[in-house]
Amino acid sequence: MAWNEPGKGQDPWGGGNKNNGSGPPDLDQIWRKLRARFSGNNGGNSGSNGGGSAGGPSPAILLFIVPIALVVWLATGLYVVQPGEKGVVLRFGNYTETQAPGWHWHFPYPIDRVYKVDTQQVRRAKNRAVMLTKDENIVEVEVAVQYRISDAMNYLFQLREPDATVEQVLRSAVREIVGTSRMNQVIQEGVQVEELEDRALDNVDLKEGSGQPAEKDALQGVDDKLVDEIKAQQNAYPEITDRSRAKLPENVSKIVQATLSSYNAGINVVAINVQYSQPPEQVQGAFEEAIKAREEEERKKNIARAYARDIVARAQGDQARILLDARGYREQKVARAEGEASRFTELLAQYERAPEVTRERLYLESMGDVLSSANLILAEQGGGGPLMYLPLEKMLNDAQRNKKVEDAANNGVNSGSGDDSSSSSSSYNGSSGGSSSSSNDRSSNLRSRDRNS
């Protein structure tokens, strides 16, 4: 403890206070005594040697020594105030002046004393501690304060331990700010995870209302005058409104500065740095896991997005393909129709010139093409003719091997029913009236083929 350490924060004079403040005179006195004794011895020696005047030093030596001693004594009054320093001069303990950097002279000890205070140097204090937040979480915070002596006189004369005081004030201020902020307003952004709710308020052990009901009016029993005093004191205190994480150093700084100013410490806070603010070691694992979970959430979303982009892009590709196919189909259909229509129109023109011949020609041509490539069986079926043996089984097997069975006659019937206007087909119909049962079977067979094709 600083206040207990001998010498710390206590100047030599203060230390000498136990001797009723006569420390310096004591030293002075001893010195004088020595001088007196020295000169006395000297005098004695000279007396015994010279046998001259007893009880005093010889005037010649005195004349020599005294000015030299005086000069030396005066010379001890020279001092340098370094750049950035202030020299505070006390004459008999009373403040007389403050000197700027440079060479100076003061009346030597014990008349004047000079204290040099560095007002430029930035000093530092820091504090690291585990503390409670308003929502009853525990956080670990390290805060450093940089400060500078703004008023050398106050720094020297107001506080016994100004530098230790800065550290104490810092500790108190950090606790205060953290104690009135929620955890998320304290810990570093990277560590934060979005709050679910202020669920901490309903926590098991500490919630308000457990234990005895608290008397909110804590000041009762103190008389009104005191209450006023207390309130006045609180009013003098800086108000903290914005408790966000970004404002944390500023808020601490405000309180530290206000407190130091209330002591007239002569100290200016230059900066407050929050160097560390995280959940304590005991729960860091859980916090890291939460961060990981958050990243995982992002990752899942990203994978899903990639998948989404992929299938949508594919679908768009499919869409383009479908449309192109459809357009192709349309073009093809139209082109074919045009082609076929014009073919028909051309042919029709010729047909109309000579319908009979053209018709005949076309028919025979087609039949020629068809019959030339097919296997033919001609079965004459005159009325009452001898029964014809047709090895249909074998023929069908052969045909099935080729997977094609056709019946030209039945085709003729079908087409004939398609356009009854043709007289030739009507005769066809008439002639086919007595078709055999076997040919009927074949016709059904053919129809099924038609459907297939």
Partner 1 sequence: MSPKHIFAIIIVLIIGYAALDSAFIVDERERVVVVELGEIVGQNYEPGLHFKIPFIQTVHSFDRRIMTFTEEIERVLTSENKNLAVDFYVKWRINDTVDYYLSTQGSEQRTRDLLTEIVENDLLAEFSKRTIRQAVGDDRNEIVAAVQVQANQDAKELGVEIADVRIMRLDLPDEVSESVYERMRSERQEVIRTLRAQGDAAAQEIRSDAERERTIILAEAYSEGQTIRGQGDAKAAELYANAYQQNPTFYSFHRSLQLYRDALGDDDLLLLRPDGELFKYFNPKPSADSSSR
Contacts to partner 1 from residues 333-372, by CB under 8 A: 333-334, 336-338, 340-342, 344-345, 347-348, 351-352, 355, 359, 362-367, 369-371
The three-class DSSP label of residue 96 is strand
CA distances to 9, 93, 158, 256, 257 from 266, in Å = 16, 19, 8, 13, 10
Among 120, 121, 188, 203, interactor with partner 1 by CB under 8 A: 203
Among 42, 150, 172, 261, interactor with partner 1 by CB under 8 A: 172
Q: 83 vs 326, which CB is nearer to partner 1?
A: 326
Read off the tokens for 387.
Answer: 């029964």
60 binds partner 1 (CB under 8 A): no
Among 98, 119, 150, 168, interactor with partner 1 by CB under 8 A: 168
Residue 71 DSSP symbol: H
Range in contact with partner 1 (rule: CB under 8 A) among 66-74, 118-126, 144-152, 413-421: 413-421
Q: How far is the CB of 83 from partner 1 (least distance, A)?
A: 25
Range in contact with partner 1 (rule: CB under 8 A) among 77-85, 117-125, 191-199, 269-277: 191-199
Contact flags string 104-143 toward partner 1, x per CB under 8 A: ------x------------------xxxx-x-xxx-----
The three-class DSSP label of residue 126 is strand
The amino acid present at 134, given as its one-letter code, is K
Q: 105 vs 157, which CB is nearer to partner 1?
A: 157
Distance between CA atoms of 248 and 83, rounded to whole angstroms?
A: 34
Residue 143's φ and ψ, nearest 5 degrees, are: -130, 140
Q: How far is the CB of 275 from partner 1 (least distance, A)?
A: 19
| Nearest Cα to Cα of residue 267 among 396, 386, 124, 388 | 124
Range in contact with partner 1 (rule: CB under 8 A) among 65-73, 74-82, 246-254, 438-446: 438-446
Strands 267-278 and 138-149: antiparallel
Contact flags string 90-109 toward partner 1, x per CB under 8 A: xxxxxx--------------
Q: How far is the CB of 154 from partner 1 (least distance, A)?
A: 10
Range in contact with partner 1 (rule: CB under 8 A) among 63-71, 142-150, 200-208, 268-276: 200-208
262 binds partner 1 (CB under 8 A): yes
Q: Burial of 155 by CB count in 10 Å (0-12 exposed, 13-18 middle, 19+ buried)?
A: buried
Q: Burial of 341 by CB count in 10 Å (0-12 exposed, 13-18 middle, 19+ buried)?
A: exposed
Strand order across the beta sheet in which 94-99 lies: 94-99, 85-91, 112-118
Q: 102 vs 359, which CB is nearer to partner 1?
A: 359
| Nearest Cα to Cα of residue 434 among 415, 409, 417, 403 | 409
Compute how many residues bind partner 1; rule: CB under 8 A. 187
- CB of 256 closer than 8 Å to CB of 169: yes
Q: How far is the CB of 124 from partner 1 (least distance, A)?
A: 18
Q: Burial of 252 by CB count in 10 Å (0-12 exposed, 13-18 middle, 19+ buried)?
A: buried
Distance between CA atoms of 181 and 277, rounded to whole angstroms?
A: 13
> Please, which of residues 278-337 interact with partner 1 by CB under 8 A?
279-280, 282-283, 286-287, 289-290, 293-294, 296-301, 303-305, 307-309, 311-312, 314-316, 318-320, 322-323, 325-327, 329-334, 336-337
Distance between CA atoms of 254 and 273, rounded to whole angstroms?
A: 13
431 binds partner 1 (CB under 8 A): yes
Q: How far is the CB of 6 from partner 1 (least distance, A)?
A: 12
| Nearest Cα to Cα of residue 362 among 405, 415, 433 | 415
Read off the tokens for 27.
Answer: 């030293």
Among 7, 51, 55, 383, interactor with partner 1 by CB under 8 A: 55
Determine the distance from the C-alpha atom of residue 222 to the mean position of all C-alpha atoms in its chain, rounded to a whole number.
Answer: 50
Q: How far is the CB of 41 from partner 1 (least distance, A)?
A: 9
234 binds partner 1 (CB under 8 A): yes
> Please, which of residues 20-49 interact with partner 1 by CB under 8 A?
20-22, 24-25, 28-29, 32-33, 36-37, 40, 44
Q: 24 vs 77, which CB is nearer to partner 1?
A: 24
| Nearest Cα to Cα of residue 117 among 103, 101, 141 | 101
Read off the tokens for 207.
Answer: 């919630």
> Please, which of residues 367-406 interact with partner 1 by CB under 8 A?
367, 369-371, 373-381, 390, 395-396, 398-399, 402, 404-406
Read off the tokens for 164.
Answer: 């230790």
Q: How far is the CB of 453 from partner 1 (least distance, A)?
A: 7
